[in-house]
Structure 1
Amino acid sequence: MSGPKRGRRHGGGHDEEHENHERWLLTYSDMITLLMVLFIVMFAMSTVDAKKFDQLKESLAGAFGGSQTLVTGGSSGSPDTSGVSPDQIDLQSAAGGQGADVTTLSKQEQDKAVQQNDRAKAAADLQKARDEVAKLKAIEQKMTELLAKQGLADSVQFSIDQRGLVVTIITSSVVFGGDSAELLSQGKEVLDAVAPALVAIPNHLEVGGHTNQLPVPTKNYPSAWELSTARASSVVRYLLGKGMTADRMTAAGYADTKPLYPPSDPLSITRNRRVEVVVLSDQSAEVKALLPTAAAEK
């Protein structure tokens, strides 16, 4: 009797193992825990000390001379930093102490640094102007020697202004006759003397015609404007025949609008009637503005 009972008990009559239907909760809780840790790490990495960040922002804005308003990705709940003075901010602390080589800069120190930069640039520009004047003086010296060989040194005057080297050719009975834009023989001799020096340089030339203030009626030209422009054009055409290229020259007439001498000066009648050949400087506007100052030092 006992044998069959044991057979039924071991032969398949034992109870089945109970299945755990809540095992997925363990996996789910592990995943949630890992996600929570991940977000905590990400939040810790992205969190910025708002007060220190605002200090850094204000200091950098002051150092670059710009506005202290900066678009950032911070939240609207940033701490109030209105009590922080931008005149004295420790950038080392604002940078979070992460080894940044930043020193404390006051407003006065920032202004001093800007002034030093401005002075350095001004000094560099003045030196460039001095170098440019030296080049222009070399051109002047070459033309002076050529004119002296022809006995025409008194027919030309030289000066330096913000445009460059101004070669002034007096036109009264030298270059043009009255009410005429036709070059006289002596005018051609003057241009023949200075042309080699002009052809040898790369600078552009501006040729300007000028008349005096006398209201003398013209027969060949409607007004002094046309006469002064025609004289400048005659000089340009002549220089083209001496080797100058058209793309290096411009012609303009100014009538009596740019006198060298006031009408009350007796020299105004002869000296204001002139043609100017300007050797234009190729320097920047800041350097060209310093050319008269540099020329006055010579």
Structure 2
Amino acid sequence: MARRGGEKVKHDNKERWLLTYSDLITLLMIFFVVMYSISSLNAQKMAALASSLAQAFLGAPASGIFPEGGLPSLVAGTEPAMDSGTGLENNEELTELAGVKANLERYITQEGLQDQITLTNQERGLVVSMYDTILFPRGSAELTPEARALLRQIGRALAGLPNYLRIEGHTDNLPIHTNLYPSNWELSTARAISVVKVLINDAGINPERLSATGYGEYRPVAPNDGEANMARNRRVDIVILKEAYNVTEPHQ
């Protein structure tokens, strides 16, 4: 409707806020698209990080977001449960590990080494624990000839696997202070490296699959309250890592 003199009536536009609102929604959509594209660059590591954070803050895997059971934790000391049959574990891999364990059990039984070598299934993989009495003289990282023969047999059983192998040295809590080994850190690490060298040179395992670490006295499997338990803590573990844990291992 026009006023007299040809003037048009000006209407107050009460819906101008919709323009601002639509701009905000558009910007939010663009933001989330960019964030999604960034996270998709390495979805596996992002999933592992999310699983680790969920365990650290909630005490459980991030269910409902990632595959059941979570992924290998990036937070030290927290490892997600991985049940057989989930998407994280390959049936072929489980069969191979079971076959390796059966072969090693037969060898250990034949040689009468049940009290000196133990096999344990853990979330991270199969762990072959060898007590120091069968490998080294007390306070030394020099392998005995018998130990080298033993490691050759074990190494050959593992040579055909594609899995990463982590060699872990451990000691009891008795202090050591020598020129070669100022502390248990040096002793445990030197022992792990000695085992790695045999696996490479004598068993023919690709060095790219191996890593060595020493934990000193700080990862005991029993209280250091007697000689029997202390002997259990003085050990070298060969950890056959499940392929799901490749995200935590440096690899190409």
The two structures share one fold, judged by TM-score above 0.5 = yes
- Cα distance per residue 1:51-99 (max 9 Å; x no partner): xxx9xx9xxxxxxxxxxx7328xxxxxxxxxxxxxxxxxxxxxxxxxxx
The reply to whether residue 248 of structure 1 matches residue 244 of structure 2 is: no
Larger Rg: 1
Find 2:124's aligned residue among 163, 166, 171: 163
Aligned letter for 1:160?
A: N
Asked if structure 2 preserves the Cα contact closer than 8 Å seen for 1:171 and 1:275, the reply is yes
The reply to whether residue 274 of structure 1 matches residue 247 of structure 2 is: no
Find 1:71's aligned residue among 1, 26, 34: 26
Q: Indicate how the Cα distance of structure 1 residues 218 and 185 shifts in structure 2: closer, same or farther if over 3 A, else same.
A: same
Secondary structure of the structure 2 residue equivalent to 1:165: strand
- The residue aligned with 2:143 is 183
Q: How far apart, CA to CA, are the structure 2 residues paired with 1:191 and 1:182?
A: 13
The reply to whether residue 220 of structure 1 matches residue 185 of structure 2 is: no
Asked if structure 2 preserves the Cα contact closer than 8 Å seen for 1:179 and 1:220, the reply is no
| Displacement of 1:239 | 0.9
Q: How far apart, CA to CA, are the structure 2 residues paired with 1:185 and 1:274?
A: 17
- The residue aligned with 1:103 is none
Q: Indicate how the Cα distance of structure 1 residues 133 and 119 shifts in structure 2: closer, same or farther if over 3 A, else same.
A: farther
The reply to whether residue 118 of structure 1 matches residue 64 of structure 2 is: yes
Q: Where do 5+ consecutive residues of structure 1 fail to align?
A: 1-49, 58-68, 73-116, 287-298
Q: How far apart, CA to CA, are the structure 1 residues paired with 2:149 and 2:113?
A: 8
Secondary structure of the structure 2 residue equivalent to 1:267: helix
Q: Indicate how the Cα distance of structure 1 residues 123 and 231 shifts in structure 2: closer, same or farther if over 3 A, else same.
A: closer
TM-score by length of structure 2 reads: 0.61
Q: Where do 5+ consecutive residues of structure 2 fail to align?
A: 1-17, 28-62, 71-81, 248-252
| Displacement of 1:196 | 1.6
Aligned letter for 2:68?
A: A
Q: How far apart, CA to CA, are the structure 1 residues paired with 2:155 and 2:245?
A: 26
Asked if structure 2 preserves the Cα contact closer than 8 Å seen for 1:210 and 1:258, the reply is yes
Q: Indicate how the Cα distance of structure 1 residues 258 and 123 shifts in structure 2: closer, same or farther if over 3 A, else same.
A: closer
Q: How far apart, CA to CA, are the structure 2 residues paired with 1:245 and 1:285?
A: 16
Q: Indicate how the Cα distance of structure 1 residues 285 and 227 shifts in structure 2: closer, same or farther if over 3 A, else same.
A: closer
Q: How far apart, CA to CA, are the structure 2 residues paired with 1:123 and 1:280?
A: 17
Find 2:109's aligned residue among 136, 139, 148: 148
Aligned pairs for 1:1-298 (under 5 A) are 70-71=25-26, 118=64, 121-122=67-68, 126=83, 127-128=85-86, 129=89, 131=91, 132-172=93-133, 174-241=134-201, 242-264=203-225, 266-283=227-244
Q: How far apart, CA to CA, are the structure 2 residues paired with 1:256 and 1:168?
A: 15
Give structure 1 regions of 4+ aligned residues with deviation exceeding 6 angstroms.
Answer: none
Q: Indicate how the Cα distance of structure 1 residues 200 and 285 shifts in structure 2: closer, same or farther if over 3 A, else same.
A: closer
Range moving further from structure 2, 151-160 or 228-237: 151-160
Aligned sequence identity (%): 32
RMSD over aligned Cα atoms:
3.0
| Displacement of 1:215 | 2.2
Asked if structure 2 preserves the Cα contact closer than 8 Å seen for 1:175 and 1:187, the reply is yes
Q: How far apart, CA to CA, are the structure 1 residues paired with 2:69 and 2:240?
A: 24
| Displacement of 1:216 | 4.1
Q: Indicate how the Cα distance of structure 1 residues 152 and 268 shifts in structure 2: closer, same or farther if over 3 A, else same.
A: closer
- Cα distance per residue 1:34-61 (max 9 Å; x no partner): xxxxxxxxxxxxxxxx9xxx9xx9xxxx
Tell me the matched-pair count: 176
- Cα distance per residue 1:213-259 (max 9 Å; x no partner): 11244353111111111111110111112211111111111110101
